Amino acid sequence: MRATSFPAAVAVVLASIASEAAASPVAPAGASSCTGCHAASPGVDTPIPRIAGRSAAETVAQMQGFKTGQRKGTVMDRLAKGYSDAEIQAIAEWYAQQK
Ligand code: HEC
């Protein structure tokens, strides 16, 4: 009895972990180095451009501009070079979800 119900219980736990991860507010790797300058909440007013709530496509495009040197910056051109395209995509999607 116990042996047969165990896998079912594991499946339930795993399913709940998976669905939690999908809606997770936890930032992807690397995002914490952005939030020190770019607030994670669009409501925060700072002199640094606000990127929370912005579309992921727009943030990715700007990051690529900095990364390739097409767009000049004071810090972002140097910073962007340290991130892979996949990391930039994940961070941009996370910022887009911040409300
Ligand atoms: C040290 C502070 C700092 C950090 C850390 C930082 N940024 Fe920036 N970011 C800036 C500043 C300042 C600008 C304005 C451009 C410039 O001077 O480089 C900017 C500009 C941008 C822009 C363009 C916004 C616009 O409207 O023009 C994007 C997109 C961006 N940053 C994304 C990121 C992401 C993603 C990260 C993390 C990987 C990050 N930034 C980390 C300071 C920072």
Domain boundaries, the chain: 28-97
Ligand 1, CB cutoff 6 Å, lining residues: 30, 33-34, 36-38, 48-49, 51, 59, 62-63, 73-76, 79, 83, 91
Among 63, 75, 87, name the best residue to mutate to test ligand 1's pocket (greatest count of ligand atoms within 8 A of Cβ). 75
Q: pLDDT value at position 15?
A: 47
Is 7's pLDDT higher than 80?
no
Query: Which one-letter DSSP state was computed for residue 75?
Result: S
Do the Cβ atoms of 69 and 61 come closer than 8 Å?
no
- Kindly tell me if the per-residue pLDDT of 88 is higher than 50: yes
What pLDDT sits at residue 5?
Answer: 58
pLDDT computed for residue 22 by the predictor:
44
**Which of 1.10.760.10, 3.40.640.10, 1.10.3210.10, 3.20.190.10 would CATH assign to domain 28-97?**
1.10.760.10
**Residue whose C-alpha is closest to residue 54's, from 45, 67, 41:** 41
pTM: 0.81
Name the more confident of 36 and 4: 36
Higher pLDDT, 79 or 27: 79
Separation of alpha carbons 54 and 24, rounded Å: 18
